[in-house]
């Protein structure tokens, strides 16, 4: 009953936390920090950590003493024997169970950190995607307005030459395409904003306010190198396997008890009281749990091998990711900036209005501008994804900030 009440209290507390919205953000980092603590998945994992906080004590409880009573009566004669015995843990079974409980609790805390890593990745990618949409929306809206301006200028002419009429039709088609993309991107923006509302309680205007003006690659700060949480999880599994081996070694020696003994004999009218010691020791004559110890030993070896292999693999992955990130950043630096692209677009628009370039070149300039911006932002997202994976393998993703 106490356990049920505890679970209900914890669930009510968790529900209250889940309903509590994050405070109004002053920066992108405020959003990241709050959501990695208040996301529903994090709250659920935190509940599991709380539930195992006393597991070590529960598993390592000392067994209660055992009171034994035997009495026999026959034709006025009586024999009574009383024993009070306590089970001893000479094989280390209780210590092994306590250690198991501690490891399980630490493993649950590790799972909580892994869940936070997943939330951090989701938040970072959604923030970047929103920044991406803001930039591409700005470009597409500028293109749509530019097309509106040139179409207005053409419509003011009393008569259009066949080439001008064809240009007007092409301008309308391109504007229709751009406007369609704008509608889809605005809908995508709303979907991402819904993510921040559902998981952090953030209002649309607050999210857009702290993101305003961020026209640069999203960076995260690198910290010291640790083992990845996945590698740490495998380490906990290895420790559990080792404790299981210790447990199997202790099993043949369980059941050792010791305690005082009292006997009261009344035979032939003579009563005699006897005091002594009761001791029971299992004798491993037929088996010493060799099969259980052998299986547990194999599991320990398997986990140690997996740990070493994964550690080596992750070291190679980190080296590869580091080189790839450096190469992509070098490529990104060589791309024209947004200001340069806007300046080029305005220059081409001016040349067209002066009749110095063809409508085809004007339309092509729009496509190139949009493609360059799109590919640039995709490159930034690729760098971000690789960086997230690098920090995950370094065990520092939980420490990153914007």
Check residue 220 and give its pLDDT. 66
pLDDT at 64 over 80: yes
Give me the residue spans of the domains in the chain: 2-399
Candidates 1.10.275.10, 3.40.50.300, 1.10.10.10, 1.20.1600.10; CATH matching 2-399:
1.20.1600.10
Q: What is the pLDDT of residues 371-399, one digit of tens each?
A: 888 888 889 899 999 999 999 998 888 88
342 vs 286: CA distance, rounded Å: 87
- Kindly write down the DSSP assignment for every residue of 355-398, as one continuous string: T-S-HHHHHHHHHHHHHHHHHHHHHHHHHHHHHHHHHHHHT-GG
Closest CA to 150 of 169, 134, 128, 133: 169
Asked if 130 contacts 189 with a C-beta cutoff of 8 angstroms, the reply is yes
DSSP annotation of 23:
P
327 vs 331: CA distance, rounded Å: 6
Write down the pTM of the prediction: 0.80
Q: Both tokens of residue 309?
A: 């292999």
Average pLDDT over residues 311-333: 91
Q: Both tokens of residue 16?
A: 């209250």
pLDDT at 23 over 70: yes
Q: What is the pLDDT of residues 124-139, one digit of tens each?
A: 999 989 988 888 888 8
Q: What is the pLDDT of residues 146-157, one digit of tens each?
A: 888 888 877 777
Q: Both tokens of residue 238?
A: 């290895």
End-to-end CA distance of the chain: 46
Check residue 185 and give its pLDDT. 92
pLDDT at 121 over 90: yes
Q: What is the pLDDT of residues 217-274, one digit of tens each?
A: 666 666 566 889 999 999 999 999 999 999 898 888 888 899 999 998 877 677 888 8
Name the β-bridge partners of 66: 85
- Residue 194 sits at the vertex; the CA angle it makes with 191 and 199, to the nearest 5 degrees, is 135
Check residue 274 and give its pLDDT. 87
Check residue 219 and give its pLDDT. 66
25 vs 201: CA distance, rounded Å: 11
pLDDT at 347 over 90: no
Which helix (H) or strand (E) segment holds residue 191: the answer is helix 162-200
Query: If pLDDT is split at 50, 70 and 90, which confidence band does 12 have?
Result: very low
Closest CA to 381 of 136, 142, 163: 136
Instruction: Give the ranges where 201-266 is alpha helix by DSSP (H).
Output: 204-211, 229-250
Q: What is the pLDDT of residues 81-105, one digit of tens each?
A: 999 999 888 888 888 899 999 999 9
391 vs 223: CA distance, rounded Å: 8
């Amino acid at each position: 009953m106490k356990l049920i009440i505890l679970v209900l209290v914890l669930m009510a507390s968790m529900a209250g936390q889940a309903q509590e919205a994050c405070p109004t953000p002053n920066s992108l980092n405020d959003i990241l920090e709050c959501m990695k603590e208040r996301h529903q998945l994090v709250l659920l994992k935190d509940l599991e950590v709380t539930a195992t906080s006393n597991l070590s004590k529960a598993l390592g409880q000392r067994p209660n003493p055992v009171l034994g009573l035997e009495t026999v009566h026959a034709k006025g004669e009586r024999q009574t024997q009383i024993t009070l015995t306590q089970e001893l843990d000479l094989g280390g079974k209780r210590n092994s169970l306590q250690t198991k409980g501690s490891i399980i609790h630490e493993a649950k805390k590790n799972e909580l950190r892994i869940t936070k890593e997943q939330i951090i990745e989701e938040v970072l990618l959604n923030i970047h995607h929103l920044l991406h949409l803001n930039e591409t929306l700005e470009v597409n809206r500028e293109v749509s307005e530019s097309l509106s301006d040139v179409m207005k200028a053409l419509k003011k002419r009393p008569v259009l030459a066949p080439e001008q009429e064809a240009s007007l039709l092409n301008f309308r088609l391109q504007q229709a395409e751009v406007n369609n993309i704008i509608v889809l991107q605005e809908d995508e923006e709303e979907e991402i904003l819904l993510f921040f509302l559902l998981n952090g309680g953030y209002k649309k205007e607050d999210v857009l306010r702290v993101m305003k003006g961020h026209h640069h690659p999203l960076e995260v700060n690198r910290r010291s190198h640790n083992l990845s949480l996945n590698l740490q999880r495998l380490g906990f599994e290895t420790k559990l396997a080792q404790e299981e081996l210790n447990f199997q070694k202790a099993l043949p020696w369980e059941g050792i008890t010791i305690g005082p003994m009292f006997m009261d004999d009344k035979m032939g009218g003579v009563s005699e009281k006897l005091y002594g010691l009761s001791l029971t020791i299992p004798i491993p004559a037929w088996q010493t749990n060799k099969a259980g110890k052998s299986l547990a030993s194999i599991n320990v070896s398997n986990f140690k091998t997996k740990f070493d292999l994964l550690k080596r693999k992750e070291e190679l992955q980190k080296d590869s990711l580091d080189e790839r990130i450096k190469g992509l950043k070098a490529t990104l630096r060589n791309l024209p900036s947004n200001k340069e692209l806007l300046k080029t677009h305005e220059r081409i628009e001016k040349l067209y209005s002066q009749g110095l370039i063809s409508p085809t070149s004007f339309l092509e300039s729009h496509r190139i501008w949009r493609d360059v911006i799109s590919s640039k932002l995709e490159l930034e997202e690729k760098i971000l994804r690789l960086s997230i994976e690098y920090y995950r393998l370094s065990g520092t993703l939980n420490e990153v900030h914007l």
